[in-house]
């Protein structure tokens, strides 16, 4: 078995999360002048040549062993990120990222309900804590349910299905072809959205409020530049994260991924003056604690009980 390199793994993972935390904060630079659908279509058209170049440099392969499984898995992952990017124009990025990171909670529930896994009280406690964190985010300071705040949690649910499908359907697939499938599906979403809004145009409010309703808008130099920054940063961030998983134990890499919440919130504060309230901070903390506990207990359960049908603490 290949030895892990925890320090290098942590460095790669944190670097990837730092890059993604920055590039995701560039969405407000795009949402005022263009639309979600054109953004995804343009970004995917930029990413695919970058992935082809990576393959030519010997960093991976772009041929899937099971194309149907790769596309099916990436349908869920791409749908999760479509919702995620749709929310970035309307909600504080820390809240959106925290909603996406409810995925480990849903992974555990899916494993119990549909894969026959049995878990002990510690992980059930983690699930309860995580959902308490979700309630604090969708029921913020005013006490009224914020419907928009639910959508990042829906993204987390879709992302969880994609995470389970990665191992169940796509084991042995190259990371590069998985990334290609993800961006291709997002590109198709974008193209269909632009086409639909061209055939059935909607009145898009000015500014970020029109992010979801804009179809084709001729991109200017600023839109093209920041879309490329998003494309390039996304590829580099995902490559760093993939390298982190190659060098480290998966459960601990998953814990390091939670640094994205911190990086995204810090960049949002520096770039946009976004301040997350104390109730939302408490919710984010509970979600992080829940995910960390689930990762640690899942790792301990794998060591203590190789039989997935046997309950572990």
Relative orientation angle of helices 278-304 and 121-138, to the nearest 10 degrees: 160
In this structure, the number of other CB atoms found within 10 A of the CB of residue 206 comes to 8
Say what the pTM is. 0.85
Q: Helix (H) and strand (E) counts for the chain?
A: 13, 0
For the record, the structure tokens of 11 come out as: 């460095």
Measure the CA–CA gap between 271 and 253, rounded to whole angstroms: 27
Q: Which residues contact 159 (CB under 8 A, 6 or more apart)?
A: 76, 77, 80, 81, 100, 103, 106
Tokens at residue 158, please? 């879709």
Contact between residue 225 and residue 33 where contact means Cβ atoms under 8 Å apart: no
User: Which DSSP letter does residue 90 get?
Assistant: T
- Write out the DSSP string of 206-264: SGGGGTTT-------HHHHHHHHHHHHHHHHHHHHHHHHHHHS-HHHHHHHHTHHHHHH
pLDDT (tens digit, 0 to 9) for every residue of the chain, 313 residues total?
456 677 888 888 899 999 999 999 999 999 988 999 999 999 999 999 999 998 998 888 999 999 999 999 999 999 999 999 999 988 888 888 888 888 888 888 887 888 777 777 887 888 888 888 877 776 655 555 567 778 999 999 998 898 888 878 887 888 889 889 999 999 999 999 999 999 999 999 988 899 999 999 999 999 999 999 999 998 888 878 877 876 776 666 777 888 888 899 889 999 999 887 787 788 888 888 888 887 777 666 665 554 433 333 3
Residue 107, classed as helix, strand or coil, is helix
180 three-state secondary structure: helix
The number of residues making up the chain comes to 313
The contacts of residue 142 (CB under 8 Å, 6+ apart) are none
């Amino acid at each position: 078995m290949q030895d892990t390199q925890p320090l290098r793994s942590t460095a790669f993972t944190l670097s990837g999360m730092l890059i993604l935390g920055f590039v995701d904060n560039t969405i407000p630079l795009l949402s005022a002048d263009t639309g979600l659908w054109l953004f995804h279509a343009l970004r995917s058209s930029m990413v695919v040549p970058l992935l082809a170049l990576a393959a030519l440099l010997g960093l991976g392969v772009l041929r899937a062993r099971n194309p149907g499984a790769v596309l099916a898995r990436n349908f869920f992952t791409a749908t999760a990120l479509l919702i995620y990017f749709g929310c970035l124009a309307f909600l504080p990025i820390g809240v959106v990222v925290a909603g996406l990171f409810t995925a480990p909670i849903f992974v555990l529930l899916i494993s119990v309900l549909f894969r026959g896994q049995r878990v002990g009280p510690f992980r059930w406690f983690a699930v309860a804590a995580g959902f308490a964190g979700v309630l604090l985010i969708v029921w913020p300071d005013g006490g009224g349910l914020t419907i928009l705040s639910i959508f990042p949690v829906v993204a987390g649910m879709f992302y969880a299905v994609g995470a389970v499908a990665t191992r169940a359907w796509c084991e042995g697939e190259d990371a590069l072809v998985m990334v290609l499938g993800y961006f291709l599906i997002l590109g198709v979403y974008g193209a269909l959205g632009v086409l639909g809004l061209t055939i059935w145009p909607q009145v898009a409010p000015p500014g970020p409020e029109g992010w979801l309703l804009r179809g084709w808008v001729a991109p200017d130099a600023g839109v093209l530049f920041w879309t490329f920054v998003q494309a390039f940063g996304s590829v580099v961030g995902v490559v760093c994260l993939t390298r982190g998983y190659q060098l480290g134990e998966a459960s601990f890499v998953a814990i390091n991924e939670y640094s994205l919440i911190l990086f995204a919130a810090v960049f949002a504060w520096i770039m946009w003056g976004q301040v997350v309230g104390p109730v939302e901070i408490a919710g984010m903390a509970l979600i992080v604690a829940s995910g960390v506990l689930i990762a640690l207990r899942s790792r301990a359960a794998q060591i203590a009980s190789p039989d997935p049908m046997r309950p572990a603490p």
